[in-house]
Structure 1
Amino acid sequence: MELGAGLMNDASERGGPAYVTGTEGAGSWGGTGRMGVAGSRRTLPHKQADSIPSRGPWVRGWKRVLSGVETTLSGLEQLWAQRKRRLPPLEPALLPSEKSLTEWPVPKLVSLFLPEFPVRPPQGQQQLKVLGFVAKGSFGTVLKVLDCGLGALLAVKVVPKVEVLQRDSLRQCKEEVSIQRQIRHPFVRGLGGSWQGQRHLFTMYKYYSTGDLHSLWAAVGCFSEASVRLFAAELALGVGYLHDLGIVHRDLKMENILLDERGHLKLTDFGLSRHLPQGERAYTICGTLQYMAPEVLRGGPYNHVADWWSLGILLFALAAGKFPLQAEKDHVAMLASVTRCNYEVPASLSQGLALLLQELLCHDPFHRLRYLYHFQAHPFFRGMAFDPELLQKQPVSFVLEARAVLPAPAEAVPFQDFDCDLICLSTHPCPA
C-alpha cells in the first residue's frame, strides 16, 4: 500500500474486497457457444444415434436456431456485396514510419474510451517550451511550460499511459478531468485543457509563480491570526462550492493549495476527488495521513464532512506552526494516534480560533462544523464578509514579500512533441 498523497487501498468504493467472478463470454455464454455450435463434431454409433429422439423438442429448437443463423449470414453477405459495389477503393496502408502517433503502444480505439483526452496533432503544441519541473509525484509529473504564442505561463501534468493501465486508474483520470471541467470558482483552480499523445496523458492549467501554501508555511512558520482568518474564509468558500456540486476532495492539504500573483489561494489537485451525491457514502481509504479524518482511516462510511476535518488540521498547522500529530507508518497506526489525541490548541491562540479548531477537529462527523453558514456566523469570523470579490480586493502583503525572494527561472527547453523526453528535462529544474 502506497501512503502519502497517493494513498488508496484496493477495496472497492462499496467498502468490501474487489471480487472477480469472470468476464462476460468466459462463462455460460462462451461455454455454451463453443460446445453447442462450434464444438468438435463426432459420429455416433447407429444404436446410440437411434437412442436419441430425432424429433425431440430440443432438436427442433436447435434446427430453428441454426437455420436462422444461416439465413442471417446469407442476408449479411448480400448486403455486404451491395455495399461493396458502392464503396470507394481502399487507400494503401501507411508505412510503419507514417503511422499515426496514437497507434502505438495503445491502439487508436483508446480515444473512444478517453473522450476527456482528445487526440491532438503534434503541430498544435509547437509553440510550447518546457521551462522545467514543478513537481514529480508518485503518479505523473507537473511541468512549467511557456506558451510562446500567447506569452503565458502554464502548468502541464504529464501522466504515462502505461502507469494508468498498470495501476488500473483509468476511471480516476477520467473523474479528475470531468470534475475540473465543471469548476468555476475564484478559489479553486479549473482545467485549461487536456489531450493525449502517443505515450502520455496531458492536462493543462494556469501556472502560479508564487508556489504552494506548504512552501510558504515552511519559510514563514506560523501565520498571524488575520492571515489564518483570510485563508480559512477563502478555503471555506472553495470547499463549500465543491460540496454543493457533490464533489468530495479527499486530499485537502497545504501542498494542494497554490498562491496566485496577489497572494490568494487556489485549491488544486483533484486526483483523489470523486462525485459523491448527497446522501451517499464512500469507503476508500485515501488521502494524506496527517490530514485524514478518523472515519476515513477506519475505512468509512464517510462523506463530504471528511474534508472539513482536513481543513481543521491545515488551519491548526498554520496557526501553531506545527501539526497536531506526526504522520505514522500506515493508516492503522495513524487511526490509533488520532483516537488517543484530544487536539489541545496552543494557549497563545485567541478564544475564537481555538473554538473553530475544536469544532473542525471533532471526532464525530455528525457534530463537526460542516456548513458555510456555520463559518459565517462563527465568532472567529466576526466582521468578515464571505464574498470572493471583497476578499480578493486587497493583496496579501506578507505572501508578496516572500515571493520576492524566489530564485530565477531555469533555461527554456523546447517542447517538440506530445511525448517529451522527461529524463532530459530533469536537468532543468523549475524553482517554483
Structure 2
Amino acid sequence: MELGVGLLNDASQRGGPAYVTGTEGSGSWGASGGMGVAGSRRSPPHKQGDSILPIQGPWVGGWKRLLSGVGTTITALDQLWRQQNPQCPHPGPLEPALQTVEKSLTEWPVPKFVALFLPEFPIQPPQGQQQLKVLGFIAKGSFGTVLKVLHCGLGTLLAVKVVPKVEVLQQDSLRQCKEEVSIQRQIHHPFVSGLGGSWQGQRHLFTMYNYYSTDLYSLWATVGCFAESSVRLFGAELALGIGYLHDLGIVHRDLKMENILLDERGHLKLTDFGLSRHLSQGGRAYTICGTLQYMAPEVLRGGPYNHVADWWSLGILLFALAAGKFPLQAEKDHVAMLTRVTHCAYEVPASLSQGLSLLLQELLCHNPLQRLRYLYHFQAHPFFRGMAFDPELLQKQPVAFVLEARAALPAPEDTVLFQDFDCDLMSLPAHPCPA
C-alpha cells in the first residue's frame, strides 16, 4: 500500500470525514477507522450462556471486547497460567488478577498473552528496522498517524501508519485492525496498494507502505475539472482495481479522491482499507460507513448492501473530476444526506460528452440491481471505446498532465524529527508535511 498526504488527514482539510454508525450483521464487524470522527456504535446484547467477566468498572468493557476479539476465554487463561507456572499456586479467581492491571490499561504494554493473539503484528520489529529513520509526519486523523520514514540502506521513502494500542481498546477496533492487515496482504495489483509490513511496539501498532507524495484530491483541488481523456484513463484504472477487489470478495466502502494516490508516473493507487471488509458472494452488510458525499443510497439507509455500493462511489468521483464540483454537497449526517440524495436530481453538465453523461447516469443509479457493476460493462461502454483495459498497456506511458500539475502543488515544509517509532504522537504540530 502506498500512503501519501491523502490518508488520515484531518477532516477539515479534506473533502469530508469518514462516517461510521450502526452495526454489522451476525458475525461481522463495524469499522471505525479511516478519516474523521466515527459515529455511534451499538454492541449486540449478550446471549444466554455468553462468558461475561464478573468485574465492573469503566475499563472492564475494553478488556471484555479485547478478549472477545482475540478469541480468549477465562478458561483458556486459566490453562495458560497452569502450563507456564506448573510449580506455582494458581492466583485464585480471575477478578483480583485483572484488577491489578487497571492502572496500566492506558499505559501499556499489555500482558504478553494478549500480544500472542495478534499474529498480524509481530512483537519483534522486522529485520532491518534499525535502518528506518523517522523524518516527520504526513497526516493525522481520528484513528492513527502516518509518519514519513527514510530507509537509510536503500535511500527510499516509506510511510508508516501508527495506531496507539489505547485507541484500539477505546474504539473496540481490534477486529478492524486485523481485517485491514489481512486484506492488504491479499492484494497484488498495479492500481491497488498492498502491504509492506506490520509489527507492534510497546504502545503502538505499525503498518508500513510505499510512499507517494500526491493524492488525487490535491491534484483535483489544483487543476479543477479534468479533460475527458484523463477521466477515461483514471476511470479505467479504477474500474480494474475495484473489479479486482470484488473478485477477492472485498468491498472497499470508502472510495474517494483522498484515498487514491498518484505514483511517480502519475498513475493511480487505491489505498486506505480501514473501512473495508470481506463480503462473501451473496453476503450483505449493514454498517453505515464511508464518506457522506460518496455513500450510495442503500448504505445511507443502513443496508442491506453489497459490493455494488463501491460503483456508486466511483460515479461520484468521476462526476467531480469531470465537472470540477460534486453533484451534491455533504450534509451533517447520513439521514440528511439520504434525504438530499433521494430528492435531488444530479445535473450533468451539458459540456460533457454523451458517452460520459451516460456512464455517470448508469453509475449513479439509485437501484443497485440496475447500476453499472461489472468490469465487462466498462469494457463495452461507449465512453471507453478504444480503451485497452490492460494494466501494462495503461501504465506504459506517464500521465503528462499529472507530472506538470505536481509542480504547482504546495512546497514541502520542514520535517519534524523523532527518536523512535514509539514516540509521543500527541506532540505533533497541527499541519502535516506534504512531501
| Same-fold call, TM cutoff 0.5 | yes
Return the offset for 1:105.
Answer: 3.0
Q: Is 1:333 aligned with 2:336?
A: yes
Q: Which residue number corresponds to residue 20 of structure 1? A: 45
**Structure 1 residue 192 corresponds to structure 2 residue 217:** no
Structure 2 gaps of 5+ residues are 1-10, 29-40, 54-81, 88-106
Counterparts in 2 of 1:140-159, with a 5 A limit?
A: 140-159=144-163
SS at 1:303's partner residue?
coil
* Superimposed CA distance per residue, residues 325-367 of structure 1 (whole angstroms, 9 cap, x where no aligned partner): 0000100000000001221211000000000000000000000
SS at match of 2:322: helix
Superposed, 1:92-111 pairs within 5 Å as 104-111=108-115
Deviations 1:195-225 (A, max 9, x none): 111111110000012x100000000000000
In the alignment, which residue of structure 1 is the partner of 2:142? 138
Higher helix share: 1
Mapped partners of 1:295, 1:25: distance in 2: 35
8 Å contact kept, 2:415–2:433: no
Per-residue Cα deviation, 1:288-341 (whole angstroms, up to 9, x for no partner)? 000000000000000000000000000000000000000001000000000012
- 1:409 positional shift: 4.3
RMSD between aligned residues: 2.7
CA positional deviation for 1:244: 0.2
Residue number in structure 2 paired with 1:40: none
Are residue 316 (structure 1) and residue 328 (structure 2) matched?
Answer: no
Residues 224-262 of structure 1, C-alpha deviations (whole Å, 9 max, x = no match): 000000000000000000000000000000000000000
Aligned to 2:90: none
Q: Tell me, in whole angstroms, the C-alpha distance in 2 between the residues paired with 1:136 and 1:331.
A: 24
Aligned AA for 2:204?
H
Note the C-alpha offset of 1:194: 0.5
Task: Say which of 349, 354, 359 aligns to 1:351.
Answer: 354
Q: Secondary structure at the match of 2:134?
A: strand
3-state SS of 1:134 partner:
strand
Match of 1:125 among 129, 143, 160: 129
Displacement of 1:429 in angstroms is 3.8
Deviation at residue 8 of structure 1 after TM alignment: 1.4
2:318 alignment partner, SS class: helix
- 2:227 equivalent among 204, 210, 224: 224
| 1:92-116 deviation digits (Å, cap 9, x = unpaired) | xxxxxxxxxxx93311222222111
Extract structure 1 runs of 4+ deviating beyond 6 A: none
Report the counterpart of residue 418 of structure 1 in structure 2: 421
- Larger Cα Rg: Structure 1 or Structure 2? 1
For residues 223 and 373 of structure 2, the distance between their equivalents in structure 1, rounded to whole angstroms, comes to 29
What is the aligned counterpart of 2:400 among 371, 374, 397? 397
- In the alignment, structure 1 residue 238 sits paired with structure 2 residue 263: no
Distance, in Å, in 2 between the alignment partners of 1:112 and 1:224 is 52
Task: Judge conservation of contact 2:161–2:208 (CA < 8 Å) in 1.
Answer: yes
Paired position in structure 1 for 2:72: none
CA 1:219 to 1:412, structure 2 compared with 1: closer, same or farther past 3 Å?
A: closer
1:165 maps onto 2:174 in alignment: no
Tell me how far apart the structure 2 counterparts of residues 309 and 252 of structure 1 sit (CA, whole Å). Answer: 9
Aligned-partner Cα distance in 2 for 1:318–1:127? 40
How far, CA to CA, are the matches of 2:319 and 2:410 in structure 1? 29
The question of whether the paired residues in 2 share the 8 Å contact of 1:7 and 1:288 is answered with: yes
Residues 134, 420 of structure 2: 8 Å contact kept: no
Q: Give, in whole Å, the separation in 2 of the partners of 1:303 and 1:122.
A: 36
Report the 3-state secondary structure (helix = DSSP H, G, I; strand = E; otherwise coil) of the residue aligned with 1:171. helix
Cα 1:227/1:298, change in 2 over 3 Å: same
How far the C-alpha of 1:123 sits from its partner, in A, is 8.7
C-alpha separation in 2, matches of 1:349 and 1:193: 43
Instruction: State the SS of the aligned residue for 1:205.
Output: strand
Range with greater deviation from structure 2 (3-12 or 230-239): 3-12
- % same residue: 82
- Structure-2 separation of matches of 1:410 and 1:128: 21
| 1:116 partnered with 2:120 | yes
Query: 2:266 is aligned with what amino acid?
Result: G
Q: In the superposition, relative to structure 1, how do residues 122 and 18 fare at CA in structure 2: closer, same or farther (>3 Å)?
A: closer
Aligned length: 362
- 1:20 is matched by which residue type in structure 2? P
Give me the TM-score of the superposition, normalised by structure 1: 0.78
